[in-house]
Every structure is written in structure tokens, then in C-alpha cells.
Structure 1
Amino acid sequence: MPEQLTWTHHTLIQALLSRGPLRDDEFHSIFTGLTGKNPGTHKKLFDEYLLKINKELSYVQCELRGFRNQYDGRVYYGVINNVSDEQSKLGTRYSVPQIAFYKAIIEAIMQDATAQGSISDIDALNLRLENQVLTDVGSQSQDGPTHVPPALKNFSISQKQKALDELVLDQWLTHTPDGNIGLGVRSFLDLRSYFRNNDIPSCQVCNEAGVKAEVCQNDSCTVRIHKYCLKKLFSQKKGGRNCPGCGTQWHYAVPKAELIEEEEEEEADVPTQSQPPVGPKRKRLESSKTGDANVVQSGSSQASRPASDLRRVTRSAAHLR
């Protein structure tokens, strides 16, 4: 018989469910307010709390997960729904065209070989939803033309813009510092399995998907490394800074005040039922919406790669509200 959670455990869960993903300092502050203990100096206690929470959440196929936002390098915590059935799909408030539009944006970002991790507003609004119909139908329509539902075919630019605003507001997407559209913290929280199942190149250092990353200057090399992982890799190296894959010199300027506490550089490690708490030097955490005849200005980015796992994302949104 599992041990019951205390009111402090429930409060931690409720904080994430009601507010959505929280930055590590915000989540740590809540933990300190509830327990009187700082996670930085009481790591074992903090890990024990998260392990106990995940043991209980596993009974309802949910998980408290830590993950790193690849745009700012900060660690966040959130709760996800691990179920991806047709029943849970009914819980989303997004329409079918909005989901298709979101999937198209994600796919366009993932297909960028330069790993910029973003797409311009214009390119996003020019994405065509017919590609998502082809993706979903797959081999079922090889013998004839694919029927594009009117809801997708007539999804206008203004409707796309409204969907874009909602997805940013709900943290599935974000506005990057250079004014483009990137993945929001909810996407990084929920899409870990999608990244792996669709062979998104991973960071050479942390092995997580390299959505926003630096790429090797050797055009024939596929190595990509997150900016914050580059700091970890090169900041304390006295010798040359070379690509760990091909050996090409990596042009990396070490920022000032680079010596950061190791604790701040490590991933958040959220223990699960099968993963006991570990000590200060922890292993990396398992982190863990297009037929529009209107065109804005420039050529649009087309995305047609299968991404059925993305349907789970909007289902999870319902469980987090």
C-alpha cells in the first residue's frame, strides 16, 4: 500500500497544475516556503519529495518532470500527462485547424539544419495545412487524392494569427529575442518523446534534442551543442576547443564571469518510481498545428514529416488546467 502524500506534496503538485511550468527558482521558493528547507542545501530531501510525488502520479499516468529551456538555459519544472488515447484528446480546447497549425510550426522548426530553433512570423503564417492532412492519412490514401477538410482548407491568415497568439499565451510557443516564433516551455516539457521518435539531432554533450543549438563549422559534420552545454564543455578547457565529433576547431568565445557553480550547470534531476534519488553530482534528467490559399509576403516554410506524437501535447494542456 503506497504511503499517502502530505499536504505539502499536494501543494507542490497544485502549484504546477494551476500555474503551468515554473522556473527552478520559483519552484524552489515554493518548496522552501512549505518545508523551511532550501533545495540547494537539502538536495536529498528535495529529491525524496519529488520521488514520492512521482510514485503517486504514476498511478494516474502523470509525471513531474524537470527540463531545460533551450533559449534561456534555465531549468523548469512541470507536470505532464503520459496518456495519449482518444479519450484524453477530447479534453483540449484547441480546434483541429489550430492543432494542425501548431504541428506544422513545430515540424518547420525541427527541419532547420542550422538549429536556430525558430521560424519567422511570416513563414509561420504561410504554412499550409494540406501537409498535415497528408501526414495524418499516411499510406491510407495512396490509391487516390487526399480530401482536405474545409476547416483546414479555409483556415485564414487572421485565424492563424489568432491561433499563434493563443499558443504563445499558453506557453506552447514563444517569441524569441530576435522576434521569431520558437518553442514554448510547455513544448519542451511535453515533446521529449517526439524529438526522439522523429530523429531530431541531439546535443553532443547532454544528449537532449538540439532544437536551439550551435552547429559545427564543418559542413559535413552533424554535431550540434546547446549554448549552455558549450560553456560546460569549453569554459574550463586549457587546450584547444575542438568539435568532439570531427575535431574541427570550434570558434567559441568564453564569456566573462564564466566560472559558474557546478550546481547551476547541471540538469534538474526529477526522480521517478524506478529512479531513486541521487547525490549532488547527478545524471542528466530525462526532460523531460496546415491548406491556406493566403500568403503574407515571402516564401513559406513547408513541413510534411510525420508527427503523430504531437497530438498528445494539446491533450496534456487540458490536464494542466
Structure 2
Amino acid sequence: MPELSWRHHTLVQSLLSRGPLKEDDFHSIFAGITGKKPGTHPKIFSDYLLKINKELAYVQFELKGCRNQYDGKVYYGVVNNVADEQSKLGTKYSVPQIAFYKGVIEAIVQDVAGHGSISNIHALNIRLENQVQTGTESQSQGGPSHVPPAFKNFSISQKEKTLDDLVRDQWLCSTPDGNIGLGVRSFLDLRSWFRNNYVPSCDICNEAGVKAELCENEGCTVRIHSYCLKKKFSQRRVERVCPGCGTEWKFLPSEAEAVEEEEEEDCRNESQPPSSEPTMKEPTMKKRLRSCKPEEADRVGAGPSRASIPIPVSKRTRTSARLR
């Protein structure tokens, strides 16, 4: 990569050595290296990523960003766009472990309730025999009688250790309720896999709706990520209904959002002329914590807007963990 400076190399190395990084952490590294904050210099940030990806394309790698559907935060990572046997999970995992991983992610994305997770017991009960066709391409013509011994002998303890390893390496995650969900590496690497396997997408952002809220109308297939719902429904004037069938969508704003809406209402009341005759000025009883100008009233409560992730998305998305 002769065209890349030491600054470009350091950015790539930070992701290779540390794994996927949260947006704030990656931005901090970028600011420390270049002296420019991505928030105030978005074009410089975008140009850096474009130049890095132009060079990484020669070795079929890509620096990209994704949103973790469990915490709603954006992460950056370097992924491998080659899907051959040698690159699967960076060759760290054995064939049975890869087959087990695929069985786990299939069980997670097939959850019709959109919880985006399965129980630990469910994961441990996944049968590797069901992955023979896709888990080992050399067995593509085999049947149940051709199950490799390594698959048959893959014990519960081996599954438990594999789960721990996959969670540690961020291919999977442990959800707050103790279940198993997809890790940020899976969201980074399996974007095309989600599409090829017809995983239902979010109606707002069109990304796979692995962890999403579902419309209450049983005949409607609309699902929306919680963070997409927040962005869509947090504005007071927006009608909170399903964009597909029009059914009322029960959206409960967080405590912070509720306070924001109250402040917005206060600002609007202040901007309106008094309806009664003027009276003597009364002493101030309490200093308002935050003042709002009339021209700002429509913006209060709308929530901060985040610019699109300035990363070129190639037509091939990878995985070092892709399993076909």
C-alpha cells in the first residue's frame, strides 16, 4: 500500500489489533492521528476511509462501519471479502466449530419474534448434522450416513467452549437477559449473507432486522429496529403508526425523551403571546434550567441527527466468517 501514509496505516492497524471499535473510540483515534475531528471535518474523514478502502481492495479487505442492533451504536472494523475455506473465521476455528456457529446464527435470525437471540440451552442443543451440506462442501453429496465423526462427537462441553470463544471474539454476544445474540463482527461481516438468506429487513433503514420491534398486526410483516423507531417517532408531530398497515404503533419514549418533549411544549408556550391582559411583573420563583428561543422550538425534542456512515459499501461484503 505505497500510497497510504503512516496515518492511514495506523488507522488500519488500530482495527486489526483491537478488533471492531465503537464510533467514538475510532473517531478519537482518528483525531489523535490527524488532528482533525470527524464531526467537524467529515470530508477529511471520508476521504481517509475512501483512500484506505481503495488500497485494501487489492487484498480483498474493506474498512467498514455497521450499527450493532443490540445497543444501537455504530462500530468500525476491517473485514475480509474472500469467502473461501481458508478465510472462514480467520482459520482460527475448526470445521465443526464453524458449522456450530452457522447453526447458532441461523437459529437467531429465524426467530419470528425478532428478539435476535436464543437461549443458551437452545444453542447447546443445535445439531451439527444439520450443517453437513453447508458446513463442509466436500460432503455436499452426502446424506445423514455421511456425517463426519467430528460432527457426531462434538460434545456439549466443546459447544460451551466454542460459545465462550465466539462471544470473546465478538462473533456472538451475551445479551442482558443471558441469551446468545449476534456479535458486532457478525453484523460487519454477514451483511450479504443476511440478504441472501432472506432475513427480514427493517422498514426504515432496510438493513437486516435481526433484533427489531414487530407490528402488532399479525397480518403485517413490518419490523423496525428500536433505534430506527426512536428516530422516526421521537418527533412530536410524527404520527405513530405502522408505515405498512397503519396500525397504531405503541412507542414508549424513554424518560429523557419525555423530559425533552415537555421542554418543547414549554418553549412553544413561551413563544405564544399572552391571552390575558398584562399584569404586574411577578418575582421569578424558579430559574428555568434551559431557555428556548422561539425559532428553536420546532427543533427541540427532535433528537440529534447522525450523518450517514461515510464508508463506501462494496457490492461484495465478506466474511472471514461467511459460511455457505
TM-score bin (small chain): 0.7 to 0.9
1:105 touches 1:124 (CA, 8 Å); kept in 2? yes
| Residue 298 of structure 1: aligned partner | none
Task: Spell out, residue by residue over 1:137-166, the C-alpha distance to the aligned partner (whole angstroms, 9 max, x if none).
Answer: 799548x65411111111111110011111
1:200 touches 1:209 (CA, 8 Å); kept in 2? yes
| Residue 262 of structure 1: aligned partner | 305
Letter matched to residue 94 of structure 1: Y
Distance 2:89 2:192 in 1: 21
| Cα displacement (A) at 1:3 | 7.1
| Residue 198 of structure 1: aligned partner | 197
Task: Spell out, residue by residue over 1:247-305, the C-alpha distance to the aligned partner (whole angstroms, 9 max, x if none).
Answer: 11101112233343112xx4422136x8xxxxxxxxxxx997xxxxxxxxxxxxxxxxx
User: Helix, strand or coil: the match of 1:78?
Assistant: strand
2:107 is aligned with 1:99: no
Evaluate the alpha carbon distance shift between residue 145 and residue 3 of structure 1 in structure 2; reply closer, same or farther with a 3 A threshold: closer
**Pairwise CA RMSD:** 2.4
| Residue 284 of structure 2: aligned partner | none
Task: Spell out, residue by residue over 1:186-244, the C-alpha distance to the aligned partner (whole angstroms, 9 max, x if none).
Answer: 11110001000001000000000000000000111110000000011111142531100
The counterpart of 1:313, out of the listed 305, 321, 324, is: 321
| Residue 17 of structure 2: aligned partner | 18
Task: Spell out, residue by residue over 1:105-150, the C-alpha distance to the aligned partner (whole angstroms, 9 max, x if none).
Answer: 00000110011000100110011111111445799548x6541111
2:23 touches 2:74 (CA, 8 Å); kept in 1? yes
User: Helix, strand or coil: the match of 2:186?
Assistant: helix
Distance 1:221 1:248 in 2: 9
Give the length in aligned residue pairs. Answer: 278
| Residue 158 of structure 2: aligned partner | 159
Aligned ranges 1:9-88 → 2 under 5 Å: 9-88=8-87
1:110 touches 1:211 (CA, 8 Å); kept in 2? yes
| Residue 176 of structure 1: aligned partner | 175
More deviation, 44-53/88-97: 88-97
1:110 touches 1:117 (CA, 8 Å); kept in 2? yes
Letter matched to residue 305 of structure 2: E
User: Helix, strand or coil: the match of 2:146?
Assistant: coil
Distance 1:122 1:32 in 2: 44
Aligned ranges 1:243-282 → 2 under 5 Å: 243-258=242-257, 259=301, 260-263=303-306, 266-271=307-312
Letter matched to residue 313 of structure 1: A
More deviation, 67-76/91-100: 91-100
Distance 1:217 1:269 in 2: 35
Distance 2:322 2:208 in 1: 20
Q: TM-score, normalised by structure 1?
A: 0.81
1:68 touches 1:287 (CA, 8 Å); kept in 2? no
Evaluate the alpha carbon distance shift between residue 74 and residue 183 of structure 1 in structure 2; reply closer, same or farther with a 3 A threshold: same
User: Helix, strand or coil: the match of 2:178?
Assistant: coil
1:28 touches 1:39 (CA, 8 Å); kept in 2? yes
2:108 touches 2:116 (CA, 8 Å); kept in 1? yes
2:172 touches 2:183 (CA, 8 Å); kept in 1? yes
User: Helix, strand or coil: the match of 2:309?
Assistant: coil
Distance 2:32 2:40 in 1: 14
1:101 touches 1:129 (CA, 8 Å); kept in 2? yes
| Residue 124 of structure 1: aligned partner | 123
Evaluate the alpha carbon distance shift between residue 152 and residue 197 of structure 1 in structure 2; reply closer, same or farther with a 3 A threshold: same
| Residue 265 of structure 2: aligned partner | none
The alignment-based identity, stated in percent, is: 66
Evaluate the alpha carbon distance shift between residue 239 and residue 22 of structure 1 in structure 2; reply closer, same or farther with a 3 A threshold: closer
Distance 2:77 2:221 in 1: 31
User: Helix, strand or coil: the match of 2:321?
Assistant: helix
Name stretches of at least 5 consecutive residues in structure 2 with no aligned partner.
258-300
Letter matched to residue 321 of structure 2: V
User: Helix, strand or coil: the match of 1:31?
Assistant: helix
Distance 1:51 1:242 in 2: 39
| Cα displacement (A) at 1:97 | 1.1
Distance 2:201 2:106 in 1: 16
Evaluate the alpha carbon distance shift between residue 129 and residue 182 of structure 1 in structure 2; reply closer, same or farther with a 3 A threshold: same
| Residue 233 of structure 1: aligned partner | 232
